[in-house]
Structure 1
Amino acid sequence: MKPSPVDWRARLEACGFEGAWDVPPGYAAHVLRSWREPLAAEAALREQLEQQPEDKDALKTLIALLRELGRGDEEHSLRRQLQERRCQDLRVPEHARDTVISYLEAAETGSPPPERSADAYVSALFDLYAPTFDDSLRGFLDYRAPERLLDAVLTALGPRRELDVLDLGCGTGLAGPLLKPLARNLEGIDLSTGMLDKARERGVYDALHAGEITARLAASLARPDLIVAVDVLVYFGALEPLFAQVARRLAPEGLFAFTVEKSTEPGYRLQPSARYAHHLDYVRHCAHVAGLCPVVEREDTLRRQAGQPVIGHVVVLAHAAP
């Protein structure tokens, strides 16, 4: 970490801050930023990172400060360091790190995103969080997407039951107990083996498969009556490839039910959360191209993030009439 020539303690003292020489540099940086002393704040942040190299909050603050100062090259270098640390924390394989870092940087900076999340990122993320995933979703995020989706599915299904059901991106199987009463056969697919282990413990799936869902659909010969994707399309930007495979495999009277996070911008966008949001018009367009049409569309709160509702669309599609 390159030192700064600015004496941040002297600047604190000059601004009338008592006990400037005893203040921790991390705290001093926040004070100095609030006083519009960016160079002194930078010096304090660099000292904080010299003392505590693993302080990600200080690193994030320094990156933001360099962006404000228009020092893009330094900002980019430090941002890459931050993303490399994140890859290490997630245990992303070495060969996939450049791809994952590019994806995360697109999410953070708003640069043109890839058409979908990096598989290595998704599998590493959910392998890591599998042991605490359910508690986090239900306890902290008030996650209600499976219930919202089931309500829409029941509306579209009417009295039909004894279905062949495929749960795309099934995760720990949170939707499994809700789908089981509809199914004569219930199968799930997920990239994360850690999540599949948790889904297996529920004892409601007849079969579970590890793999990327678009590729698994392309290789499958099954014709499910109901295909669901709960909180899965947030890792897909472009929906056309997946919708095409769903339409190819879906039974003639079948339904495809899913959730997306709402975007007010055309098409899709990659959010700072590293999750995609989709405009409903784009979803309809992709459905039309695939030969599918909406039978249920609802806007609802899917979960909460930082105390704020995350609004999304709950959609059920069927084959369009010839």
Structure 2
Amino acid sequence: MTTDTLLRAAVAHHQRGALAEADALYAQVLQRDPDNFDALHLSGVVARQRGDAPLALQLIGRAIALDGTRAIAHCNLGAALQDAGRDSDALASYERALALQPDYALALCNRGNALRRLGRPDEALDSYAAALALSPRYPEALCNRALALQELGRHDEALDGFAAALQARPAYAEAINGAAVSLLATGKAEQALQGFDRALQLKPGYAEAWCGRGGMLLYAGQFDAALDSYRHALAARPGYARAQLGLANTLRVLGRHDAAIAAYRQAKELGADAATVDYLLAALGAGAAPAASPPGYVAALFDGYAPRFERHLVGELRYRTPEALAGLLGRHLTRQGGNDVLDLGCGTGLCAPLLRPFARRLEGVDLSRAMLERAAALELYDGLACADIVPFLRDGSGRWDVLVAADVLVYVGDLAALFAAARQAMRADAVFAFSVETLEEGTFALRPSGRYAHSGAYLRELAARHGLALRALEPCTLRQDSGTDVAGLLAVLVRGTD
């Protein structure tokens, strides 16, 4: 059998998905002709399909060293580089492929994927659009474009994109899963769950869908079902950091603290965000508590919580802090209207209707973009900013008459920097009203819930240290947690004239 005949047979096996047979024949070709471009290149493609990115890089790299003019080889090298987590290098390979063949739809789509993974979703959209201009019913480009829209928070457009991908390929598990994520983000929980389940029917080992399902069930309070989903994800993809972190979070909520600690440590070893894991370990007493919750943890927590935030907090947890705090604030304002008011950690805007009557101008600041989108829809704020509250306050020196923080300081332990920034941002006679969870002794403590509690003595000491007069410090019930009242304090501080 000639070398060409062997190569054609190998390609035929490869096209049928018989990777072992194809690989064996490619190896025979390379025994006869070690510098055979096609056998090297396609052996590398087989290696990538079998999950061996290092071997794929070696083989395709050798092929390109022999002939660097083949766009397809640069495109496949880019895919192997992405598998290896080298997204910048992958982008460069796709650019080389497109320099050789500008009308290469696959390279344009893959270029979009690399840009998206590099945090450049707007540029990714342009690359997908170019791919779709060449091939309008290209399922992967349609689906990946929808994923970029999803990352930009444009969920309605993303859903249209996933629908278009499913028209081009009806049994497309990735598009169904993507649609489920956007359905959940727009508050359509039941449809989202159906989507995750449908994706798993098509692709039972789809770890991302198991994780999406697990996260949804965890937020819904179906803890045992969430645990089961995360275990399925780990069975499908051992070492999957996202699934391991979800498993640890569920064990923590279930009160299985020793198992949660072990799971968090394993999640950190697998590459989960170290700051988040260390924080949650500290909440379980397995490490030193930081001064505040990591901003990335808070943003991710509330981005995921946004679709059901108000229904869960008000309906299920009997959350009444905004009403209680606004009532106390009203009793201590010297001017009942015409104030410049800042809603710190405004979330979806639960405080906005209560603060609007006090305000000439009402602004909000929050770390969660998903929360801010819902707050904007109320059309009650004159301005909204996605930022950490302490730097935001520092940038607004002497600007505010009223600061309000309802259920926000539970994510800040050491309040000294916040009090200093608040005083700097307040005008003379301005008011700062906030809530905390009650700590009976000490200064502050991080609880297993992942929230901080503060003592009244600590608040008094901080107020005095920062030149803020304590006008009110009243006990209250903030909400319920697992059917138990959560005790809190409502405080009103005033900045006098210097």
TM-score, length of structure 1 as denominator length: 0.73
> Structure 2: any 5+ residue segments left out of the alignment?
1-230, 236-242
Contact 2:247 2:263 in 1 (8 A): no
Contact 1:59 1:78 in 2 (8 A): no
Q: 1:65, 1:98 → 2: CA distance?
A: 21
Structure with more helix by fraction:
2
Q: 1:198, 1:268 → 2: CA distance?
A: 31
Who is 1:215 aligned against?
A: 391
Q: Quick check: 1:81 aligned with 2:274?
A: no
Shift in Å at residue 83 of structure 1? 7.0
Who is 2:407 aligned against?
A: 231
Show CA shifts across 1:17-51 (max 9, x none): xxxxxxxxxxxxxxxxxxxxxxxxxxxxxxxx699
Q: 1:66, 1:138 → 2: CA distance?
A: 28
Identity %: 39
Contact 1:171 1:192 in 2 (8 A): yes
Q: Quick check: 1:244 aligned with 2:417?
A: no
Q: 1:235, 1:84 → 2: CA distance?
A: 25
Q: 2:433, 2:415 → 1: CA distance?
A: 14
Show CA shifts across 1:252-278 (max 9, x none): 011000000001120000000000000
TM-score, length of structure 2 as denominator length: 0.48
Q: Which amino acid aligns with 1:114?
A: P
Who is 1:267 aligned against?
A: 443
Over 3 Å counting, the alpha-carbon distance change for 1:154 and 1:228 in structure 2 is same
Contact 1:83 1:104 in 2 (8 A): no
Over 3 Å counting, the alpha-carbon distance change for 1:125 and 1:83 in structure 2 is farther
Task: Name the count of aligned residue pairs.
Answer: 260
Pick the aligned partner of 2:485 from 309, 312, 317: 309
Contact 2:268 2:274 in 1 (8 A): no
Show CA shifts across 1:208-228 (max 9, x none): 011000011112245111000
Q: 2:414, 2:249 → 1: CA distance?
A: 35
After superposition, residues 24-35 of structure 1 pair within 5 angstroms as none
Who is 1:297 aligned against?
A: 473
Over 3 Å counting, the alpha-carbon distance change for 1:59 and 1:244 in structure 2 is closer
Q: Which amino acid aligns with 2:316?
A: F
After superposition, residues 38-57 of structure 1 pair within 5 angstroms as 53=235, 56=247
Contact 1:84 1:101 in 2 (8 A): no
Contact 1:225 1:253 in 2 (8 A): yes
Who is 1:155 aligned against?
A: 331
Shift in Å at residue 79 of structure 1? 3.4
SS of equivalent to 2:407:
coil
Contact 1:59 1:82 in 2 (8 A): no
Over 3 Å counting, the alpha-carbon distance change for 1:242 and 1:81 in structure 2 is same
Over 3 Å counting, the alpha-carbon distance change for 1:132 and 1:83 in structure 2 is farther
Show CA shifts across 1:193-216 (max 9, x none): 110001001110000011000011
Structure with more strand by fraction:
1
Who is 1:117 aligned against?
A: 293
RMSD of aligned residue pairs (Cα, Å): 3.0
Over 3 Å counting, the alpha-carbon distance change for 1:172 and 1:269 in structure 2 is same
SS of equivalent to 1:174:
coil
Who is 2:362 aligned against?
A: 186
Shift in Å at residue 299 of structure 1? 0.3
Who is 2:464 aligned against?
A: 288
Q: Which amino acid aligns with 2:440?
A: T
SS of equivalent to 1:109:
coil
Larger Rg: 2
Pick the aligned partner of 2:341 from 165, 185, 191: 165
Q: 2:262, 2:443 → 1: CA distance?
A: 31
Q: 2:350, 2:481 → 1: CA distance?
A: 19
Q: 1:271, 1:168 → 2: CA distance?
A: 22
> Structure 1: any 5+ residue segments left out of the alignment?
1-48, 68-73, 86-93
Q: Which amino acid aligns with 2:437?
A: E
